[in-house]
Amino acid sequence: MEKQDYKFKRKLDEMKKMKGQGTELITIYIPPDYNIHEVVGKLRDESGQAMNIKSKQTKKNVTGAIDRLLHALKGIKKTPSNGIALFAGNVSGNPSGKIELFSIDPPQPVPIQAYRCDSSFFLDPLERMLEPKKVYGLMTLDRREAAIALLKGKRIDIVKTLNSQVPGKHRAGGQSSVRFERLIEIAAHEWFKKIGEIASKTFDESRVVGVILGGPGPTKEFFLNEDYLSAVTKRKVLGTIDTGYTDEFGIKELSEKSGQLIEGLEVVKEKELINNFFKEASVGGLATYGLKEVMQAITFGKVKILLLSEDLEKKKLTLECPQCGKKQEKIVEHSPSNIGKCASCGAPLIEDEEEDLVEYLMELAEGTGSEVELISTETQEGEQFLKSFGGIGALLRFK
């Protein structure tokens, strides 16, 4: 994930947590080249209709949010190249109780024109912009079971797991072995036909750019060669890979081995990077971890690759004493209500600046020529990195 994408995702994560007292948080989307005057007219109409709201508090909050949006649009003469996304409302937990206005610069063109008044902000169009451009289809199968999944960047979404009714290869009492074998083959054909239809429906989508089949033995090759997949999906098949399992564990195994067929696959690259970090850290080699240790390594130019968890939710506060003017920094999980007193004069400190810790460390590392890799928690390795190493680590150029 790039720095710009990280900031965008973190902003969306913050806004997803925001709630209103009722249906009084307003979202507007304006696509590129859309006439802003039409949106202004729509908002004025909505303001007039809001006067019919029975609750005085809700009426006040809704009309106040619309006024903030109208004021924001007044200064915009032309819709930006990617459109506009604006949000306004009285967010629960806001100590001031004032109507807040939020804007997000979309990284891609806004696809819709929309006005939404609800108890939360409407973020679906922006969240879809975070979806990876390339999605891969994964499928494991044999005669007993099958699993179908989508690999989206570093995330695996299991679409379907199925178990077959194909009998095992043994004789049933009173049946000839030839007839029984024939029944088995008919059941297997129906099984392959069923999972082929589900897989094709999943993988025919245009966003799926490649498909990989896995499983033990030659069953996957037989399934592929016998045309159980649609022509569209079959053209996307990149190859087959042997796996020991055909359930969700098989899908994970398949994704780990997919680097054989897909060069530069994000999930494989991340696993290799984190495993290299684990190896170096375990033997006291060219790796370090922990906020203090990593910051020190950055300062001395030791860091080759800075590793930061995408789910690291910490902030760097700059605190100032209003009496003596002294400043200090503090790392926190959440902004505390009581941030302490000045060590010099004992006066209550005030917050001067708040910064996302990941963004701060990224800028610090980039200033010394270090690479930065954001690690997801979608993989087992990424989750372990966050839990066991605090989500902050580095591979070093030298000790």
Indicate if the pLDDT at residue 170 is higher than 60: no
Q: What percent of the chain has pLDDT over 90?
A: 63
Beta partners for residue 371, in sequence order: 305
113-159, pLDDT tens digit by residue? 999 999 999 999 999 998 888 899 999 999 999 999 999 888 899 99
Sequence spans of domains, the chain = 3-130, 135-263, 270-396
Q: Given this model, what pLDDT does residue 88 score? A: 95
What pLDDT, on the 0 to 100 scale, is given for residue 278?
97
Q: What is the pLDDT of residues 99-108, one digit of tens each?
A: 999 999 999 9
pLDDT at 335 over 90: no
Between CA 7 and CA 1 the distance in angstroms is 10
pLDDT band at 346 (very low <50, low <70, confident <90, very high): confident
Residue 392, pLDDT above cutoff 90: yes
What CATH fold (topology level) applies to the domain 270-396?
60s Ribosomal Protein L30; Chain: A; (3.30.1330)
Q: Dihedral of the CA atoms 35, 79, 134, 225 (nearest 10)?
A: 20
Give the model confidence (pLDDT) of 20-78 as tens digits: 888 899 999 999 989 999 999 999 999 999 898 888 888 999 999 999 999 999 888 88
pLDDT, tens digit, for every residue of 212-250?
A: 999 999 999 999 999 899 999 999 999 999 999 999 999
The domain defined by 135-263 folds into: Nucleotidyltransferase; domain 5 (3.30.420)
Which residue is associated with the tokens 């022509």? 231
Helices 56-74 and 36-50 cross at an angle (nearest 10°) of 160
Q: What is the mean pLDDT of the chain?
A: 89
The DSSP bridge pattern shows strands 327-332 and 155-163 to be unpaired
HEC readout, the chain: CCHHHHHHHHHHHHHHCCCECCCCEEEEEECCCCCHHHHHHHHHHHHHHHCCCCCHHHHHHHHHHHHHHHHHHHCCCCCCCCCEEEEEECECCCCCCCCEEEEECCCCCCCCCEEEEECCCCCHHHHHHHCCCCEEEEEEECCCEEEEEEEECCEEEEEEEEECCCCCCCCCCCCCHHHHHHHHHHHHHHHHHHHHHHHHHHHCCCCEEEEEEEECCCHHHHHHHCCCCCHHHHHHEEEEEECCCCCHHHHHHHHHHHHHCCCCCHHHHHHHHHHHHHHHHHCCCCEEECHHHHHHHHHCCCEEEEEEECCCCCEEEEEECCCCCCEEEEEECCCCCCCCECCCCCCECEEEEEEEHHHHHHHHHHCCCCEEEEECCCCHHHHHHHHHHCCEEEEECCC
- Checking if the pLDDT of 173 tops 60, the result is no
- Whether 269 shows a pLDDT value over 90: the answer reads no
* Cβ neighbours for 346, distance < 8 A, ≥ 6 positions apart: none
Q: Tell me: domain 3-130, CATH 3.30.960.10, correct? A: yes
> Most distant CA pair in the chain: distance in Å?
97
- At 157 the pLDDT is 93
Q: What is the mean pLDDT of residues 184-189?
A: 89
Round to whole Å and give the CA distance between 62 and 171: 73
Please give the pLDDT value at position 240.
95
pLDDT band at 320 (very low <50, low <70, confident <90, very high): confident
More confident residue, 95 or 330: 330
Q: Give the tokens for residue 124.
A: 């679906």
